Chain A
Amino acid sequence: MMNPCKRFFHRIVWFFQLCGMTLSMCWRGYISHKGWSALVHGIGLIVGYLGDYVVLYSMIMNFPGIAGFTALDVCFLYSMGLVCYALGNIHTREFWKIDDLVLRGGLDLYLVRPVSPLVQMFVRDIQVGYLSHLILGLGCMFLVKGMSGIPWDITHWLLFFFSILAGSVVMSGISLIATPLSFWWGKSRSVTGFVRGGLRGTLKYPITIYPKLIQILVYIIPYAFVAYYPCLYLLGRDTSPKAVLYPFISMLVGIAVNFAFWVFWRMGLRRYNSAGG
């Protein structure tokens, strides 16, 4: 019998192989199905999001700043949010259809197979279209970094990459956390939409501008740890030693919120009664 450590290791390797295989399938499917329109779609996404940047920048440029952050700082925060949103949602798209899967019994398809439904759903619809978000977000961050003239040393660069990783883990958990609600309510698109989309607006500005209630909310649904805290040190808004720790705290929060989703999902799955035939 294989020892538990080795079995766990094999399981991890198998999962990443599965991810790689699905990513390759999705990419080939995306390109062959859409052809040139995939490229046009990518450009369209970049153009669409550019509108948000223009609005944000133009709005803040009429004022001295917002809670001590300049228009460029806000663009950096927004870009960090955009990049983390893209990376954190590469594997969550299938969960966006959870209402339909529960109401029409489509989830049965995942339950009858000899692989965890969670793993199947993660790799079912890997989103390669988020490449546009990454290009735009990273491009804007580098542009802002160049324009703001803050010198970055090796610590900044390491924290920058770790912040993106941590923010993506948090974002992934946020996008998933409310989805099991469909097992109880049938439809939960308002809640999932608000958690994933409505509250996403808090990524744009420093969280200190919000009333206490909203600040508590962005700690519970931890948007504060996606962009605001990890960016404080990078933007030179907090240079104290504790600011270096924020990305690491973000990672811990990300792991916690993903774990909470897993528990919530298991509870919901126990309640699931197939509706299909």
Chain B
Amino acid sequence: MKLYAYFLMAYFSLKESLTYWKDYISFIIFSVLGLVLQISAWYALYSSVDFAPVMGRSYETMITYYLIMQIVRNFTSADGIAGTLEQRMSTGEIATDMLRPAAPRGILIARAWGEKLYYFIPSILIFVGSVLVVGGIQLPASPGVFAAFCVSLCLGYLINLMFDLVMATFAFWFIEVNTLRWFVTFFVALSGTAVPLWLLPSWLQAICRALPFQAAAYVPMQIYLGSTNPAEILRAFGTQIFWIIGLFLVQEWLWRRGKRRIVVLGG
């Protein structure tokens, strides 16, 4: 029953966003243009080396990486949860959430899913369109690799979700979590979403690999591109699960402590 309630929340959040359909269509068109901008940059860079492989990766691999990364990023992203909690904390609406017969975190996640679908559906359509128009995009080496990619994608989403919940819980202490976000942005930029890790200097790669952000985005991409063998895939899953459990424990501890600090004035 509760699950149905969360489903309805996600549905209404999506429906609310889709009400403004002109805005949605422009979003799809502009997403395509955004993609063209980035692909143009890669095209210009590779044309400077006559399309020879760079760091062992061809131009086709790079384009595949970039296109698939749009799907990975949109699927694994859990943005908005911290921002929503921050907003509800500052307006006092958190009190209403606490009184509802559903878990406040569940409500936040369900609403975020509505928003997520709003962005995720076009990214799939754009990818399919790009495969048809551009062509030459690498497909997974086997159905097994594709299945592993899907599993890794789901685990990546859970990592980001847990991390965003950790960030959200800081709202109990600081109310404004936006500041913390900016510090994290530095590492998110180096998670493989903007540029593959293989193009970064080795010392920076080492730092990135020690953080959870690359496990959410870069690891699924590595699996998709077939850069990992079955043993490495299992190790990658292990790393992802390690981050999920670690971050879950941290957010659970913070949530329990933070909940006691809520004071809502007014009625």
Binding site for B on A (CB under 8 A): 34, 37, 40-41, 44-45, 47-48, 50-52, 54-55, 58-60, 62-67, 185-191, 193-194, 198-199, 201-202, 204-205, 209-211, 214, 217
Contact = CB atoms under 8 A, between A and B. Distances in A.
B190 A41 contact: no
B241 to A, nearest CB: 27
B200 interface: yes
Contacts of B41: 66, 204-205, 209
A51 B195 CA distance: 11
Given A194-B30, A210-B40, A58 B199 contact: yes
A85 B199 CA distance: 28
Given A34-B176, A209-B41, 16 more contacts: A37-B176, A41-B179, A44-B180, A44-B183, A51-B187, A52-B194, A54-B200, A55-B194, A63-B49, A63-B54, A64-B49, A66-B48, A67-B44, A189-B23, A201-B34, A210-B36
Contact of A51 (B36, B44, B55, B189): B189
Give chain B's interface residue range (CB within 8 Å of chain A): 35 or more
Interface in B174-221: 174, 176, 178-183, 185-190, 194-195, 199-201, 204
A223 B201 CA distance: 31
B209 to A, nearest CB: 15
A119 to B, nearest CB: 28
Contacts of B187: 51
A51 B26 contact: no
B195 A55 contact: yes
Given A48-B186, A59-B199, A214-B33, A185 B23 contact: yes
B23 A41 contact: no
Given A47-B186, A48-B186, A54 B23 contact: no
A177 to B, nearest CB: 14
The 10 closest A-B pairs by CB, nearest first: A51-B189, A44-B182, A48-B185, A209-B44, A190-B27, A194-B30, A187-B20, A51-B186, A48-B182, A41-B179
B33 A194 contact: yes
Contact of B20 (A40, A45, A48, A186): A186
Contacts of A50: 186
B23 A62 contact: no
B40 A51 contact: no
A211 B36 contact: yes
B45 interface: yes
B37 interface: yes
